[in-house]
């Protein structure tokens, strides 16, 4: 088995069909496959066995070729995030023990020599010619091929392993819902070192479609990209869809790309205002939101039909996914009862790298949890927040993400956060944090009244803090712990 077997087949069946298009390069299936065979021969020359290959580069083509070439060769690819600090990178390299690191010279640090067996500059690869390898490597289904990292909001990202079989199963389940084909032109605007975008790339080339890779687009640039390349599908995180929709302000409504048949969103839940604007602007485009995690792959998805029936849910489980909502006694919760969400499927990861205690702590039998809290109702899954984000005020549990969902329904509300700050009497109290630009544009008195009218008394924010911008992680998610520390270390601006 090899997750890229379908790509080899496409190279023979549709050799001239476009496989991947970047700003600088267009790969046909034939040219891509032959380039990957060259990469395989190069890796064989380094004699690293079935070792781990890291890539740290700003260059799209290098990331594409080295990542896919490493997988085709039966080795393990580890795409490294160029946004990591040197301290993060050092900690990660110590953990993952790379056999080979392909790197832009600008990223090189002398201390890397002590952490990696061999380092090769990207420019050296471009100047070296290799013969082709002898075809795709056939490995066992449980062989690891992908070493990636959780996008945690605190501490060092945790490395985890995926094997060929689990990824193939994910491709099959994704295809059963999203139904991409060789005729599709799939836009992937995020960095390939993030697992969502990497999965979108592999899904596209294994169905025989064309992947369009772009980064750093302005809001109006998104519209032009969709139109010029006649994109049929987009894989995005919520912040990217917000950027696309903000571009509509600068373009006439008639500029909506009529080629776009689906937009696939993951990483967080969309804001209600973004959903409404999307439906108004692209009424015939299907909006899919799926809930999952790096460790779990697909868990649940929300189609337009599900959104109509259960608008606050994350949808229904993917085929082959079993959910267990557990109370504190590890008993199954009743419908509507909040508990820890455990997942079992054949799409799950192989485990955290060299962290048996983390693997053990997250399992309940054959079920795994990432710490999300939620409940089931009428077959739909509802997520109320992360266990680590929940806080207690006066004996009541408060789930910040659920409070944020309600407040986002207030007209004009965009970026916001709800956090629990220490209080001498109540333990913690809910605080609403918004950005200065938003505070200048809304009626604070009306907002406070809205919260009192729509939230239980223990969830109503005790005060509103205004800051210039909300802190975000490298993957664009709210850095909640950093925000709490920042607020507790200073006298906030109180309203």
Domains and CATH numbers, the chain: 5-178 (3.40.50.980), 316-388 (2.30.38.10), 391-488 (3.30.300.30)
Report which of residues 414 and 165 the model is more confident about: 165
Tens digit of each residue's pLDDT (9 = 90 or more) over 409-436: 898 887 899 999 988 778 889 999 999 8
Q: CA 11 to CA 36: how far, in whole Å?
A: 11
- pLDDT for 439 equals 85
Q: How far is CA 431 from CA 85, 333, 372, 403, 428, in A?
A: 30, 30, 21, 10, 9
3-17, 119-133, 210-224: lowest mean pLDDT where? Answer: 119-133
Residue 2, Ramachandran bin (φ over 0: left; ψ between -120 and 50: alpha; else beta): beta
> Which pLDDT does position 388 carry in this prediction?
82
Comparing CA positions, the residue from 192, 237, 253, 302 lying closest to residue 476 is: 237
pLDDT of 453-471, one tens digit each?
999 888 999 999 999 999 8
Q: Is 376 helix (H, G, I), strand (E, B) or coil?
A: strand
How many angstroms separate the CA atoms of 188 and 158, rounded? 24
- DSSP three-state, residue 297: strand
The predicted-structure confidence for 252-292, as pLDDT tens digits, reads as follows 544 667 899 999 999 877 878 888 888 888 899 999 999 99
Give the model's pLDDT for residue 170: 96
d(CA 347, CA 167): 6
Here the tokens at position 286 are 């299907």
Of the pLDDT bands very low, low, confident and very high (cuts 50, 70, 90), residue 493 is very low
**Mean model confidence pLDDT for the chain:** 88
pLDDT digits (tens, 9 = 90+) for 53-106: 999 999 999 999 999 999 999 999 999 998 888 888 999 999 999 999 999 999
What backbone phi and psi angles, to 5 degrees, belong to 407? -65, -30
Quick one: average pLDDT of 372-385?
A: 93
Is the pLDDT score of 11 beyond 90? yes
The listed range with the strongest mean pLDDT (12-16, 132-136, 468-472) is: 12-16
Q: Which of 151-155, 230-234, 329-333, 400-404 comes out lowest in average pLDDT?
A: 151-155
Provide the pLDDT confidence category of residue 494 given band limits of 50, 70 and 90.
very low
- How many whole angstroms separate alpha carbon 72 and alpha carbon 92? 24
Percentage of the chain modeled with pLDDT above 90 = 55
What is the distance between the alpha carbons of residues 116 and 370, in angstroms, rounded to a whole number? 30
Q: How far apart are CA 319 and CA 292, in angstroms?
A: 13
Q: What is the pLDDT of residues 94-123, one digit of tens each?
A: 999 999 999 999 999 999 999 999 999 887
């Amino acid at each position: 088995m090899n997750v890229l077997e379908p790509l080899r087949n496409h190279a023979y069946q549709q050799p001239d069909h476009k496989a991947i298009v970047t700003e600088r390069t267009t790969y046909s299936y034939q040219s891509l496959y032959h380039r990957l065979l060259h990469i395989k021969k190069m890796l064989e020359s380094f004699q690293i066995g079935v070792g781990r290959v890291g890539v740290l580069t700003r260059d799209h083509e290098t990331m594409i070729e080295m990542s896919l070439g490493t997988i085709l060769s039966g080795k393990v690819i580890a795409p490294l995030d160029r946004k990591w600090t040197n301290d993060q990178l050092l900690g990660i390299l110590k953990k993952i023990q790379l056999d080979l690191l392909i790197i832009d010279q600008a990223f090189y640090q002398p201390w890397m020599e002590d952490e990696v067996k061999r380092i090769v500059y990207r420019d050296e690869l471009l100047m070296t010619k290799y013969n082709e390898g002898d075809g795709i490597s056939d490995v066992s289904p449980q062989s690891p091929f992908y070493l990636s990292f959780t996008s945690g909001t605190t501490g060092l990202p945790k490395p985890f392993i995926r094997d060929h079989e689990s990824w193939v199963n994910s491709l099959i389940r994704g295809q059963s819902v999203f139904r991409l084909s060789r005729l599709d032109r799939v836009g992937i605007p995020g960095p390939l070192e993030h697992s969502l975008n990497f999965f979108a790339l592999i899904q596209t080339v294994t169905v025989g479609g064309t992947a369009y890779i772009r980064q750093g687009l302005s809001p109006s640039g998104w519209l032009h990209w969709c139109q010029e390349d006649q994109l049929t599908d987009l894989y995005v995180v919520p912040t990217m869809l917000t950027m696309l929709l903000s571009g509509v302000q600068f373009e006439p409504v008639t500029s909506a790309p009529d080629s776009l048949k689906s937009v696939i969103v993951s990483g967080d839940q969309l804001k209600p205002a973004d959903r409404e604007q999307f439906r108004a602007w692209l009424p015939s485009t299907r909006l899919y939101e799926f809930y999952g995690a790096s460790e779990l792959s697909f868990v649940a998805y929300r189609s337009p039909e599900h959104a109509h029936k259960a608008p606050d849910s994350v949808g229904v489980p993917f085929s082959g996914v079993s959910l267990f909502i557990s109370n504190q006694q590890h008993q199954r919760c009743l419908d509507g009862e909040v508990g820890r969400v455990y997942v079992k499927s054949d799409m799950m990861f192989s485990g955290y790298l060299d962290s048996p205690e983390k693997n053990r702590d997250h399992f309940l039998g054959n079920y795994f949890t990432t710490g999300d809290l939620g409940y089931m109702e009428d077959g739909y899954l509802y997520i109320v927040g992360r266990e680590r984000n929940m806080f207690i005020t006066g004996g009541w549990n408060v789930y910040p993400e659920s409070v944020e969902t309600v407040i986002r329904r207030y007209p004009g509300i965009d970026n916001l956060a709800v956090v629990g700050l220490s209080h001498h009497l109540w333990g913690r109290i809910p605080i609403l944090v918004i950005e200065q630009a938003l505070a200048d544009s809304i009626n604070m008195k009306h907002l406070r009244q809205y919260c009192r009218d729509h939230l239980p008394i223990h969830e109503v924010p005790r005060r509103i803090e205004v800051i210039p911008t909300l802190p975000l992680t490298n993957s664009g998610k709210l850095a909640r712990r950093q925000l709490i520390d920042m607020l507790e270390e200073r006298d906030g601006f109180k309203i």
